[in-house]
Amino acid sequence: MPHLSVLIPTFQRPAKVAACVASLRAQVLEGLEVEIIVGLDGPDPRSRDAIERAWPNSAPHRASPAGATLTVMELPKQGYMGVRRDILARATGQVMVSLNDDVELCPGFLAAHARRHLAAPGPAIVVGDSPWKVHSGDTLFDRMVRETSLIFFYDQMYARAATLGPDHDWGYRFCYGLNFSAPLDLVREVGGFADHADTYGYDDIELAFRLARAFETPVLFEPKAAALHDHRYTPRDVIRREYNLGRAAWKFAKTSREFALDLFGRDIASEGELAYSREFVSRERKSAMGLAPEFVLLGETPSGLVAPSGMAAPLGLLGSSGLHSPPGQLAPAGTSSPTSGAAGIVRALAQQFMLLKRWLWRRGLLDESEGQPTREVLIEG
């Protein structure tokens, strides 16, 4: 079994990172050699204390009962991309496992990543399953996040995985930094993670793009490598996210042009594209602002307003393990098509707000291209 290096950037989310670390400590390693490196994005005593409580031991490199080691590094404040680069430099394993600090690993997670690499015919990127945690007071917006491609494309993977099979190459767009693994030496050979200070987005898929170009690494979906994602987005969070993605897109278009051309299908940094963005932002501003209040209202609308979805359950939470999705989250696999019934209504709602998303993204792209500071207010009201 390969030696795993688990990399986790974090900052000022002590409860989240403690839950993540505790779930790592509970893993049964099945003969695996595992090192875990947590990178603090600047001074963060509360997170350090929470990690120490979740993984108690006074040694500098704390070991779990199963033999995994944990190292906590305090780094200069730089944003999560730089933290990932710095902790990658300290890794000594054969396979890198990238996690966010807000995931809680299901039993067998690390072993599933390791076994999938052993079974692959060549070097590969392995993406695990990351179903969203369902919180009390579930809203229609929560369902939109879970059941559509608003944030990730897991809904597409759930719908097609059984038909396409375990060896299907999903492509670099399906590589998510919160739960993926790749051969560590190849990650280093292509230059590691991008480093755009205080920037959000595209770094995971851009790395997957470089790996695919250099080594033809497929992106394989391993549902048994399941980690519950405890991140509750609000509509205003997504509004901010889309704007930030627009800003990040400009940076990657300037520093990773081949990737940006492939991802967006055009040169978004060209003067013609910027002129189009200026026209779009001006022309569609009224329509986008008109959609914003309805979008925000979804975060206050009970999820039960639309009957429970027939979308297939996250594959990693079903089967012989005895795990299951929380009540009301997702129906059992195979009960109905993910595009039918109530799920279709939720998807239609998501499509209704595409103009708002595009407007925010282009606003961010323009602001970054012009060197403008980040806008504090993005929507009216």
Reported as type and span, the H/E element at residue 128 is: strand 125-129
DSSP character string of 70-118: EEEEEE-S--HHHHHHHHHHH--SSEEEEE-TTEEEPTTHHHHHHHHHH
Contact in structure between 227 and 99 (CB atoms under 8 Å): yes
CA 213 to chain centre: 22
Domain layout of the chain by residue ranges: 4-234, 239-369
Is the model more confident about 33 or about 30? Answer: 33
- Quote the mean pLDDT of the chain: 89
Q: Is residue 244 over pLDDT 50?
A: yes
Q: What is the pLDDT of residues 167-208, one digit of tens each?
A: 999 999 999 999 999 999 999 999 999 999 899 999 999 999
User: Mean pLDDT throughout 112-140?
Assistant: 97
- Would you state the pLDDT for residue 330? 32
Alpha-carbon distance values, 180 to 18, 290, 299 (Å): 20, 38, 29
Alpha-carbon distance values, 92 to 7, 63, 223 (Å): 11, 16, 26
* 219-229 vs 179-183, strand pairing mode: unpaired
Contact in structure between 101 and 8 (CB atoms under 8 Å): yes
Alpha-carbon distance 95 to 176, whole Å?
Answer: 16
Lowest mean pLDDT among 169-173, 231-235, 306-310: 306-310
- Would you state the pLDDT for residue 381? 56
CATH superfamily for 4-234 is Spore Coat Polysaccharide Biosynthesis Protein SpsA; Chain A (3.90.550.10)
Grouping H, G, I as helix, E, B as strand and the rest as coil, residue 296 is: helix
- Would you state the pLDDT for residue 305? 77
Alpha-carbon distance 203 to 208, whole Å?
Answer: 9
- Would you state the pLDDT for residue 318? 31
Q: Which residues pair with 34 in a beta bridge?
A: 4
Amino acid at 241: R
Q: Which residues pair with 38 in a beta bridge?
A: 8, 72
- Would you state the pLDDT for residue 347? 86
Q: What is the pLDDT of residues 246-281, one digit of tens each?
A: 999 999 999 999 999 999 999 999 999 999 999 999
b/e map of 150-186 (b: 16 or more CB within 10 Å)? bbbebbebbbebeeeeeeebbebebbbbbbbbbbbeb
Alpha-carbon distance 34 to 263, whole Å?
Answer: 34
CA 303 to chain centre: 23
The confidence band for 63, taking pLDDT boundaries of 50, 70 and 90, is low
Q: Is residue 308 over pLDDT 90?
A: no
The confidence band for 372, taking pLDDT boundaries of 50, 70 and 90, is very high
User: Mean pLDDT throughout 311-319?
Assistant: 39
The confidence band for 325, taking pLDDT boundaries of 50, 70 and 90, is very low
- Would you state the pLDDT for residue 60? 46
- Predicted TM-score (pTM) of the model is 0.89
Alpha-carbon distance 80 to 151, whole Å?
Answer: 18
Contact in structure between 256 and 131 (CB atoms under 8 Å): no
Lowest mean pLDDT among 23-37, 314-328, 347-361: 314-328
Long-range contacts, stretch 80-83, CB < 8 angstroms, 24+ apart: 80/9, 80/11, 80/41, 80/200, 81/193, 81/194, 81/195, 81/196, 81/197, 81/199, 81/203, 82/41, 82/195, 82/197, 83/9, 83/11, 83/39, 83/40, 83/41
Grouping H, G, I as helix, E, B as strand and the rest as coil, residue 3 is: coil
Lowest mean pLDDT among 24-33, 167-176, 362-371: 24-33
Q: Is residue 145 over pLDDT 80?
A: yes
Alpha-carbon distance 154 to 163, whole Å?
Answer: 15
